[in-house]
Amino acid sequence: MNEHSSSIVLVAGLGNPGREYENTRHNIGFMVIDKVLEKLNGASVSENGCNSIFYKLKYKGKSVIFAKPQTFMNLSGNAVAALMNREKLDKSNLLVVHDELDLPLGRMRIRKGGSSGGHNGINSIIEMLGNQQDFLRMRIGIGRDRNVVDYVLGEFKEEEKGLLNEMIDCAADAVIELLKAPASVVMNRCNALDLSESTKNNE
């Protein structure tokens, strides 16, 4: 793999399974996966295994897996590690998409490595990969509230849904770009993006 291409072949969007969780803030990783599949016209083909619902697509000449772990957030690492072991993948092949309390809705950050930042899903993945932290992550801002548990398991407010849809669309485009371009190139653009500011400026 040369420096001008991407090694990402597994994209895992984090969330909780079940209809009662599907519109909650903690499930924004699932929402991004669904939007990527919609853009790539691949949402109709799904498989079950390794504690995940996943989709295998051909993109730019390589096979890519888009996974939604079904273990509940705190055990996301069980599903991700199982898929990586089955497909004989390295941490350099992994992109994880998840919610981020420390960013407002309308912001995202792409980075490699670092701590879990208190995110239970990321913490589980780090533990299951043997404390290998330097896999690629896309953190999608959801904002923060004093009661964290109720907040992340709550649904987005009606007035947030327009910005939410715009953010999911941008994040999906970024995922697709990360499948073909070096992460550094995508980071430069996406980490500076602030849809929350553009929304305020247009009001």
Give mean pLDDT, residues 123-152. Answer: 94
b/e sequence 146-163, b meaning 16+ C-beta within 10 Å: eeeeebbbeebeeebeeb
Residue 43 lies in a domain: yes
What percentage of the chain carries pLDDT values higher than 90?
A: 83
Distance in angstroms (rounded) separating the CA atoms of residues 14 and 99: 8
Residues 98-109 pLDDT 10s: 999 999 999 999
Residue 173 lies in a domain: yes
Contact 73, 18 (CB under 8 A): no
Indicate which CATH number applies to the domain containing 148.
3.40.50.1470
Structural domain count, the chain: 1
Contacts of residue 157, Cβ cutoff 8 Å, sequence gap at least 6 = none
- Domain range for 86 is 10-202
Residue 3 lies in a domain: no
Residue 1 lies in a domain: no
Q: Catalytic pick from 4, 26, 98, 119?
A: 26
Residue 85 lies in a domain: yes
Residue 79 lies in a domain: yes
Average pLDDT score over the chain: 92
Residue 2 lies in a domain: no
- End-to-end alpha-carbon separation of the chain, Å? 45
The closest alpha carbon to 97, from 24, 168, 202, belongs to 168
The answer to whether 26 is a known catalytic residue is yes
Residue 29 lies in a domain: yes
Type of residue at 49:
G
pTM: 0.93
pLDDT band at 17 (very low <50, low <70, confident <90, very high): very high
Residues 29-43 pLDDT 10s: 999 999 999 999 865
